[in-house]
Amino acid sequence: MVIQRDKPFTVKGEAAPLAEVSVDFAEHHYDTQCDKEGRFSATLGSFSANSRPQSLKITSGEDTLTISNIVIGDVWLLAGQSNMELWLSRTAHNYPDSITDDDPLIRQFAVPQVPKFDGPRDSLDLSESQWQELSERTAPGFSAVGYFLAKQLRKRYEVPVGLIATAVGGTPIAAWLNGEVAAASGIDLTVAKQCADSSYVANMEKSESAATAAYMENLNNSDLGLSGNWAAPEYDASDWESAELTDYALGSGSHWYRKTIPVPADLGDTKAEIYLGTAIDMDEIFINGDKVGTTYYRYPPRLYSFILPKDTVTIAVRLLAFSGGGEFTPGKNRFIATELGTLSLDGPWRRRTGALVDNAPSTTFIRNYPTGLYNGMIAPLAGIQLRGIAWYQGESDTGNPAGYSERLAALITSWRELFDDSELPFLIQQLAHWDHTGPGGSDAEHQNRWEQLRLEQKRVLELPYVGLSGGYDVGEWNDLHPQGKQIVGERLARLAQRLAYREKLPPNMFEQFSLNRKAGVLDDSATV
């Protein structure tokens, strides 16, 4: 693990009621005793940065627990939703060196994504996660933003950097508020209280799972493309309509696309990858009749590996639309890649509808309900010392941006109380540009709501020790998850230099922050 330098290191745990406990770390010794419930706490003092692995030994009676490979540096909490959670595996083709990086002094702990609604969780189940050193094996699972933040801080300060990853895709800010703050913010907690009953949750999940299974069974049984084996390379699709992959396919159900292209002699029988961009909603991809991959929801880029056949290759795409229609996202690159060359997939395809059905039944993401993720993922971190918090969230609140600044300010204040640090630096990442272009073109109302949310983010600068990192320019008009995470992480690192490390730097147009204790006074006149 990584523990925070220059701040008190506290060890908490459980043993037998009233048992004596001794704790040893870095030549420091501490004796304590459990309370009647068997809980103990030992604060060993603060330690300077140290890259040499240390061991922590905890002894009670004849039982000893030893935790090794502990380094001392700076610990950052990564919080928010999908753009903070997004892994290096999703940006590997933009940053190929990152996916093979090896630095044992950059480490990440991914907090298990388990919501809780019957009150805050006291501790984490460590069987579900563990600290990971950055290596070629673990890098794909690192937060991309967190990785680039850590790389910059490691380079500048030459100390170990620990990342505690708590971000969860698609989550509104209400999920990250504690019950008291949520209630004071006027958030309806009715459903959250219902979810405190495990049987309520179990029944909801069982009912929705059964409805989804029945829906998919009906869709598959109705699909002429499956029963007629439209994926087979010998199938004659010459009478299908001509369409681009990006042409909107109207109607919920299945829509099939086919394309046959010649394979140059030097590319045949080689390892290949097919890139199709993102799509609405689910896809299944077949190469010469063999299924090579599927993606179940709209946001991940479609990327599948296979062996490129000789002579010709037939690609069959089964696109499943669940809410009235579907498409592959315009503006994305689509091709087959090998080490020796690429084959373009641009131009018209053959398209035919395999089945039209009703819209899919709704699915409830229980983790999105108010207080659930605070109770399950943030509360059990109480007492951990941090260098700061990096927050990238807000996309899920753009539907109703009014009041977001008050909720975020309340979150910051309450989290600082949880970590017992009223000056804990809080770095906010501004929402990137996203055009949200659909069948009807660019959505002006959408753009207005997103801009309102950005203004709400800026209002939180009234709190001290808060910074805002510009991000509008790193967006992609056709992707909610822009690939350019390096610039995001590096801008957050520069903001950290100001807020967490108190460096005096020249003004920068991509950051604005408050260091003064007096709320509302900014130390930098730059705009975001």
User: Using one digit for the tens of pLDDT, what is the confidence trace for 278-316?
Assistant: 999 999 999 999 999 999 999 999 999 999 999 999 999
Residue 437 is predicted with a pLDDT of 62
Residue 85 is predicted with a pLDDT of 98
The CB density around residue 279, as the number of other CB atoms within 10 Å, is 25
Asked if residue 349 lies in contact with residue 257, where contact means CB atoms within 8 angstroms, the answer is yes
pLDDT digits (tens, 9 = 90+) for 323-346: 999 999 999 999 999 999 999 999
pLDDT digits (tens, 9 = 90+) for 438-461: 554 567 888 899 999 999 999 999
pLDDT band at 512 (very low <50, low <70, confident <90, very high): confident
Report the domain count for the chain.
Answer: 2
Residue 444 is predicted with a pLDDT of 84
- Name the residue with tokens 């709209």: 298
364 within some domain: no
248 within some domain: yes
Burial of 62 (0-12, 13-18, 19+ CB in 10 A): exposed
pLDDT digits (tens, 9 = 90+) for 208-239: 999 999 999 999 999 999 999 999 999 999 99
Residue 524 is predicted with a pLDDT of 44
172 and 233: one domain? Answer: no
Listed range (116-125, 149-158, 371-380, 512-521) with the worst mean pLDDT = 512-521
The CB density around residue 442, as the number of other CB atoms within 10 Å, is 11
Residue 442 is predicted with a pLDDT of 61
Q: Please list, residue by residue across 197-211, b when 16 or more beta carbons sit within 10 angstroms of its beta carbon and e when fewer do.
A: eeeebeeeeeeeeee
SS3 per-residue string spanning 60-101? ECCEEEEEEEEEEEEEEEEEECHHHHCEHHHCCCCCCCHHHC
Give the residue from 321, 356, 391 where a domain finishes.
356
Asked if residue 490 lies in contact with residue 512, where contact means CB atoms within 8 angstroms, the answer is no
Q: What is the CATH number of the domain that holds 324?
A: 2.60.120.260
Rounded distance, CA 257 to CA 231, Å? Answer: 9
308 and 379: one domain? Answer: no
78 and 172: one domain? Answer: yes
Asked if residue 378 lies in contact with residue 418, where contact means CB atoms within 8 angstroms, the answer is yes
Mean pLDDT, rounded, for 232-261: 96
Single out the residue of 328, 316, 244, 317 nearest to residue 280, CA to CA: 328
Rounded distance, CA 131 to CA 485, Å? Answer: 22
Tell me: pLDDT of 509 over 90: no
Tell me: pLDDT of 521 over 50: no
Residue 515 is predicted with a pLDDT of 72
Q: What is the CATH number of the domain that holds 404?
A: 3.40.50.1110
pLDDT band at 123 (very low <50, low <70, confident <90, very high): confident
List, in order, residues 6 or more apart from 239 with CB less than 8 Å away.
Answer: none
Q: What angle do CA 16, 21, 22 make, to 5 degrees?
A: 160
447 and 388: one domain? Answer: yes
19 within some domain: no
pLDDT band at 520 (very low <50, low <70, confident <90, very high): very low
Tell me: pLDDT of 172 over 90: yes
Give the residue from 326, 356, 386 where a domain finishes.
356
pLDDT band at 39 (very low <50, low <70, confident <90, very high): very high
Please give the mean pLDDT across all residues of the chain. Answer: 93
342 and 446: one domain? Answer: no
41 within some domain: no
164 and 246: one domain? Answer: no
Give the residue from 356, 377, 408 where a domain finishes.
356
Strands of the sheet containing 249-250, edge to edge, are 249-250, 325-328, 279-280
270 and 380: one domain? Answer: no
Asked if residue 328 lies in contact with residue 279, where contact means CB atoms within 8 angstroms, the answer is yes
pLDDT digits (tens, 9 = 90+) for 404-420: 999 999 999 999 999 99
Residue 170 is predicted with a pLDDT of 96
Asked if residue 395 lies in contact with residue 173, where contact means CB atoms within 8 angstroms, the answer is no
84 and 127: one domain? Answer: yes
Rounded distance, CA 506 to CA 519, Å? Answer: 22
The CB density around residue 166, as the number of other CB atoms within 10 Å, is 25
348 and 309: one domain? Answer: yes
425 and 351: one domain? Answer: no
Give me the count of residues in the chain: 528
201 within some domain: no
280 within some domain: yes
User: What percent of the chain lies above the pLDDT cut of 70?
Assistant: 96
Asked if residue 454 lies in contact with residue 430, where contact means CB atoms within 8 angstroms, the answer is yes
Angle, nearest 10°, between helix axes 485-499 and 144-157? 50
Give the range of the structural domain holding residue 497, as residue numbers without chain letter. 72-193+369-514
183 and 281: one domain? Answer: no
33 within some domain: no
Tell me: pLDDT of 526 over 70: no
Residue 125 is predicted with a pLDDT of 78
Round to the nearest angstrom and report the end-to-end CA distance of the chain: 35
9 within some domain: no
Mean pLDDT, rounded, for 11-22: 94
Supply the DSSP symbol for 361.
P
234 and 263: one domain? Answer: yes
The CB density around residue 194, as the number of other CB atoms within 10 Å, is 13
* DSSP calls for 143-208: BHHHHHHHHHHHHHH-S-EEEEE---TT--GGGGS-HHHHHHTT---HHHHHTTSHHHHHHHHHHH
Asked if residue 185 lies in contact with residue 406, where contact means CB atoms within 8 angstroms, the answer is yes
Tell me: pLDDT of 27 over 90: no
